[in-house]
Structure 1
Amino acid sequence: MLALVFVALVLLGTLAGAVACFVFLPLLPAIAAVIVGVPLVPWLAVTLYGLVRRAQPIRPFDAAEQQRDAAGLGGEGRHVRTADGRIVEYLVYGSRHPDARVIVQIHGAGTTGGWQCGMNAALCEELKLKGIAPSMPGYGYSDPLPGRRIADFPRDLEAILEAEDVGEFMVEGTSLGTAHAMAVAWHFGPDRCVAMGLNVPYLSEPICREFDFQHDGDKLPKTDARAWYQAWNFVAADLMYRAPLISPPARHMGGLPDGGKVKAERPWVFEALGADQRRLVVRGTQGQGWDQFSYDVNTRWGFDPREIETRAVAVWYAEDDRQCPPSHGEWLAGLFESRDSVTTSVRCLDEGFGHFTFLPSLGSEFRTGEETMPATLLELAGEARSAGESES
């Protein structure tokens, strides 16, 4: 009896299963579509938003606006048009004497030449230096250059130096700007670029792989920023620099591992960065979408710093830097110190300020009462010149 009941239940279950398959089979694609589509819809929406933002033109360049902005920072706003038709902005400050020594000061990521001008204008005046602070492509008032390499940057500077009638000059870079400063020294050679200053430097991917150094550039997407699926870069740029309660990034830097002490003891550092980050996207955030998240820009420079022949070099790095590993600064310092023909200044500090160690320590502007890169480069350039004359 029990066996018959069991067989009957099995037959009924099989029949019910067959009926259910025919009844619910048309719903299976819909169920699958829901499972896949729920996460897919926002992904498509965000990608579409990024593609639209990427396609939108940036604001037209307004020379009068740029000049007013630069005046508020203690400098003069100027620009050049490159051979390929791009606008490159730069600020001029410090000494106006026609025979003044020239220093080119290059900003880091998420900032512009305006930041360099604001920090250095008074100092350059005291040191009788003419300061020139260009903004990289896609930063501030400069036009973007999608797909650029850092080795391309000296060509922008060539147009500026020609417009300003500059022969010899010194170059200083901060963070991302150190890679650009090295490109400048590499491109122009020691007879024109007479001194180079690297403030919290980092190294390119090939060198990091060669010496097994930490390399955070690996976190960036390793594809051409011009690929359609890199549209998320432009969403990220809008969030970072336009979104209420989020932008600009400087407002959150106090929460970084090396930001707490800076916020407590040198609050002007993040205040100045925040003001300049608003200037950074004055013509739109698209420039940051093209540049700041580009693997090629940040890691594959297009030149080897070992080929630099500049005879006066300063390398300043922080032992507690969480953004540009100190091993990079140590390697660069060793590279130039090992050359008998190079006069060097190497500083390695561990004061709790990390990546921000060598920014103004007494207020929002550099002062002659603190050790500064421009003053150091002036001294090094003089020593290198004297050494060269004695050898000849």
Structure 2
Amino acid sequence: MESLHLEGGRVLEFAVRGPERGPAVLFHHGMPGSAVPMDSVFASATERGYRLVTYSRAGYGASTPLPGRTVADTAEDCRVLMDHLGVHRYLVAGWSAGGPHALATAVADSPRVSGVLLIASFAPHDAEGLEFVNGMGVQNHVLFGAASRGERKERAIVSQMAAVVRDGDPSDLAAGMASLLPHVDAAELTGVYGADNATHMNHGLAAGDDGWLEDLQALTAPWGFDPRGITVPVELWHGALDRMVPLAHGQWLAAHLPTIRAHVESGHGHISIGVGGLGDQLDRLRYRTS
């Protein structure tokens, strides 16, 4: 893990995995999450020669909190990070809550971003014609329901959920998240991915819950950019069984982003769609950008 010092005294934590001269990919993690690479997710990409850049959004891991940050603010941090790494052209990928941040990076660093990969991404909270929480499990109804009740309530809910996630056994976590997990996701969470994800999330929450709270607020506020203005190729992958970010979110994005190509997988959920397939998903995106 490395640290980049930003203006204002903030620190951005990041890591780089894969061949030094491979095609660069900036990967935006979910909520909660961190820069800790997950081999169960990234191996299919690094084995094909991709160079994966991960980072911890503000408030997660060793990254300094940034109260009130927007999705667009995070994209600006990422633009500075890619400057620091000397990357001249790259792809962006985002899973779950990372999806909006991937789209934002394509806007903030449009001269260098050649394509966007969205995996089970959220649509805007105020998206016209979308009932944001419809089809979500109970925990997400509670989490996003707190967003309209003020910061004190948001912080209380996030704190309760973080206490369950932090240092939890993957099997216990799967049982506690049952309403969010179709069988294919539960199987992944209790397998190799579950151990990877526990390390990834525990690092993100080690210093506190600020990152999760800031993510919740950023996702449910205006993002700070219009995703419909993106002109580079966008590949979207969404599981039809997803109960964390229901398929309706992917369908909204597919209907409103002009350069998007959507792949709906009938037998996949929120987790299974992102485990083991990253290399193939990036190859398909890269083919479109060449």
Shared fold (TM-score greater than 0.5)?
yes
Partner of 2:107: helix, strand, or coil? Answer: helix
Partner of 1:95: helix, strand, or coil? Answer: coil
The question of 1:360 aligning with 2:286 is answered no
Closer, same or farther in 2 for the Cα pair 1:305/1:78, shift >3 Å? same
User: Which of the numbers 119, 137, 142 marks the counterpart of 1:199?
Assistant: 119
User: Which of the numbers 171, 179, 185 marks the counterpart of 1:256?
Assistant: 179
Give deviations 1:255-304, integer Å, cap 9, x for gaps: 2353433334672222221222221223x223246425x43444431222
Give deviations 1:141-167, integer Å, cap 9, x for gaps: 211111111110112112211110112
Q: Distance in 1 between matches of 2:256 and 2:278?
A: 30
Residue number in structure 2 paired with 1:381: 289
Q: Distance in 1 between matches of 2:53 and 2:162?
A: 29
- The answer as to whether partners of 2:244 and 2:270 remain within 8 angstroms in 1 is yes
Partner of 1:195: helix, strand, or coil? Answer: strand
Equivalent residues, number: 279
**Structure 2 portions without partners, runs of 5+:** 134-140
Residue number in structure 1 paired with 2:145: 219
Closer, same or farther in 2 for the Cα pair 1:328/1:84, shift >3 Å? same
Closer, same or farther in 2 for the Cα pair 1:234/1:171, shift >3 Å? closer
- The answer as to whether partners of 2:32 and 2:205 remain within 8 angstroms in 1 is no
- The answer as to whether partners of 1:106 and 1:177 remain within 8 angstroms in 2 is yes
Q: CA deviation at 1:172?
A: 0.3
TM-score (normalizing by structure 1): 0.64
User: Which of the numbers 62, 67, 84 marks the counterpart of 1:146?
Assistant: 67
- The answer as to whether partners of 1:324 and 1:355 remain within 8 angstroms in 2 is yes
User: Which of the numbers 168, 175, 193 marks the counterpart of 1:269?
Assistant: 193
Partner of 1:206: helix, strand, or coil? Answer: coil
Residue number in structure 1 paired with 2:234: 313
* Higher RCO (C-alpha 8 Å, min separation 6): 2
Closer, same or farther in 2 for the Cα pair 1:307/1:277, shift >3 Å? same
Structure 1 counterpart of 2:265, one-letter code? L
The question of 1:93 aligning with 2:14 is answered no
Closer, same or farther in 2 for the Cα pair 1:265/1:222, shift >3 Å? closer
Residue number in structure 1 paired with 2:164: 240
Partner of 1:315: helix, strand, or coil? Answer: strand
Residue number in structure 2 paired with 1:63: none
Partner of 2:274: helix, strand, or coil? Answer: coil
Partner of 2:118: helix, strand, or coil? Answer: strand
Greater Rg over alpha carbons, structure: 1
Partner of 2:244: helix, strand, or coil? Answer: coil
Q: Distance in 2 between matches of 1:378 and 1:230?
A: 39
Closer, same or farther in 2 for the Cα pair 1:132/1:235, shift >3 Å? closer
Partner of 2:32: helix, strand, or coil? Answer: coil
Partner of 2:236: helix, strand, or coil? Answer: strand
- Deviates further, 261-270 or 301-310: 261-270
Identity between Structure 1 and Structure 2 (%): 21
Give deviations 1:94-125, integer Å, cap 9, x for gaps: 1112xx321101110012121456631x4344
Structure 1 counterpart of 2:54, one-letter code? A
Structure 2 counterpart of 1:103, one-letter code? V
TM-score (normalizing by structure 2): 0.84
Structure 2 counterpart of 1:153, one-letter code? T
- The answer as to whether partners of 2:79 and 2:108 remain within 8 angstroms in 1 is no
Displaced runs of 4+ in structure 1, greater than 6 A? none
Residue number in structure 2 paired with 1:43: none
Closer, same or farther in 2 for the Cα pair 1:118/1:144, shift >3 Å? farther
Closer, same or farther in 2 for the Cα pair 1:379/1:218, shift >3 Å? same
The question of 1:302 aligning with 2:224 is answered yes
Give deviations 1:22-72, integer Å, cap 9, x for gaps: xxxxxxxxxxxxxxxxxxxxxxxxxxxxxxxxxxxxxxxxxxxxxxxxxxx
- The answer as to whether partners of 2:120 and 2:245 remain within 8 angstroms in 1 is yes
User: Which of the numbers 149, 155, 168 marks the counterpart of 2:89?
Assistant: 168
- The answer as to whether partners of 1:111 and 1:276 remain within 8 angstroms in 2 is yes
Structure 1 counterpart of 2:71, one-letter code? I
Q: CA deviation at 1:170?
A: 0.5
Residue number in structure 2 paired with 1:177: 98
For residues 68-107 of structure 1, the aligned pairs below 5 Å read 77-97=1-21, 100-107=22-29
Structure 1 counterpart of 2:2, one-letter code? R
Partner of 1:172: helix, strand, or coil? Answer: strand
User: Which of the numbers 41, 46, 54 marks the counterpart of 1:119?
Assistant: 41
Closer, same or farther in 2 for the Cα pair 1:346/1:224, shift >3 Å? same
**Structure 1 portions without partners, runs of 5+:** 1-76, 383-392
Q: CA deviation at 1:373?
A: 2.2
Residue number in structure 1 paired with 2:264: 348
Structure 2 counterpart of 1:327, one-letter code? A
Q: CA deviation at 1:234?
A: 6.5
Q: CA deviation at 1:187?
A: 1.7
Q: Distance in 1 between matches of 2:209 and 2:27?
A: 24
- The answer as to whether partners of 2:60 and 2:212 remain within 8 angstroms in 1 is no
Partner of 1:354: helix, strand, or coil? Answer: coil
Q: Distance in 1 between matches of 2:47 and 2:221?
A: 36
- The answer as to whether partners of 2:125 and 2:219 remain within 8 angstroms in 1 is no
